[in-house]
A and B are shown apart, each in its own frame.
Chain A
C-alpha cells in the first residue's frame, strides 16, 4: 500500500517536471519567434516614417539639408547583384553539372570539400580576397570587385543545389532522351537542366537573398558614392552600405534614413525567401506529378 502511494507521488512529480519542461521548451521556441517579430516591428515602425518617393529616387543630401534618399544605393544594389548573378550562374551551374555527371572519385570529392569550405568562409575574408585581386592592383575601389565578392558568396549554394537538382532528375528521363538519339550534350541542356530548373531558381533566389543585405565585403570593394554611378569600374553606392554608414553616424536625420533602408532590405529579403519557398513547393509538385 505504502509503496504504491509513493509510486503515485513519484509519478505525479515526474508529470509535473515533464509539464514544466515542456513549458520551458515552448517558451524557448516562442522567444525565438518573438525576437523576429520584435525586430520586424521596430524596423517597420521606425522605417515606415522614412519611406517616401524622394527616399527611393533621390540622391543623399548633405548633413543638415533635409530630405534626400538612397536612390543611388538602390541602383547600385541592382547593378552589383546583376553582375554577381551573371558571373555566378555559369560557374555554379557548370560545377553542379560536373559534380552530378562525374560525381565519383577523388577530384569531385575534393571539389565538394572546397565548396563546403567556401560556404563557411566569413564574408569579410572574401572581401579581403576581392580587394587583393581587383582593388589593390588597379588602385581604386570598384563596384565590379563587390560583384566578385558577392559571386564568391553565392557560389557554394548554387553549386550544391544544382548538383542535387540535376541528380534528382530520374535516370529514365535522361535515358529516354539518349534512346531517342540525343547526344549527351543535348540531353543535358534540353531535357535534364530544364527539369531541374525550378530547384535551381529556388537556390538562386536564396543566394541573392543571402547577399543582398551583406555589408562587410562592400566596405573595401564598392566603397560607396555620393553620386548616381552606373560604371562598374568606379566606386558605387550600395543600399546595405548606406544603412551601415547612416546607422553609425551621429546625425538623427541620417539614423532615421538608416531605418528606412533597413525596411527596404528586410522587405527584399523576405520577398525573395518567400518566393523561393513557393518555387520549391511548385518544384516538389512537379516532381510528384
Chain B
C-alpha cells in the first residue's frame, strides 16, 4: 500500500513537473533548428508562474462549466498519469480499467474543454471546439485500435504487461502490423496534442488554429491549468509511444533503484522522441484544416489494418 502510494506520487511528480520541461525543450530545439537562439527550456515554468500571479477575467456569458473545466482537465491528466506505465510496468491505477479507461479519460477532458469553448458565446471558441472534437473523434478511436493491435499480439490488455511482454520477447514486434500500429499512433500523438502538421501551437491566427481558439477566453490561473493539462497530455502520449514501442528499461517497482532506472530509461527515450518531433515540426508545414481529417482517417485505417493483420499474418 505504502509502496504503491509512493509510486503514485513519483508518477504524478514526474508527469506534473516534467511536462513543462518537455514543452520548453521542444520550443528550444525548434528554435535552434531554424537558427534562432530561442527561449530557455525552462521558459514554461516562468510562464506558469506569471499566469498564476495574474488576475483572471471571466466572461459574463459563461456558466459554471467554464470555471470547472480547468480543474477537471488537470484531474483527468493526473489520473491518466497513474494509468500509463511511466516509471514502472505496474502503474498504481492499472487495475482501474486500462487502455480503454485511458482513452475515455482523455475524451472526458476533451468533452468539457469543448463545452467550455462554446460557453463564452464567441465564434472563435465555437470554431475551436468544433475542430477540436472533429480531430479528437477520429484520433481517439485510433489510439484504442492501435493499442489493441499490440495488445492482441502480447495477449494481454494491461499496458504494463504489454511493455513487459514485448521487452522479453522482442521477436513479437517483428511484424508489419507493429510498424503500422506505430505509424498510426505517431500521427495520432501529433493530432491529439495539437502539434504540426495538425495544429500549430505557435500560431494565433484565428482561422487556422484549433486548440488555441478553444481556450481563447481563458486567462490567469485558469489558462495556466489548461496549458499545464495539455502539456501533461503531450508528455503522457509521448511516454506511451516510447514505452510501448521501445519497451526496455522498465521493471516492476521492486525498489527505488528500479523506479529510478525506469525514469532514466524514459528520459533517454523522450529525448530522442522530442528531437524527432522537433525535426518533424520544422520540416513540415501545417495541413489545410480539411486535409487534417484525411490524415486522421488514414491513421485510423492504418490502425485497423494493423488489427486485422494480427489474424491474417500469424
Question: Are A and B a genuine interacting pair, yes or no?
Answer: no
Q: Which A residues are closer than 8 A to B by beta carbons?
A: none
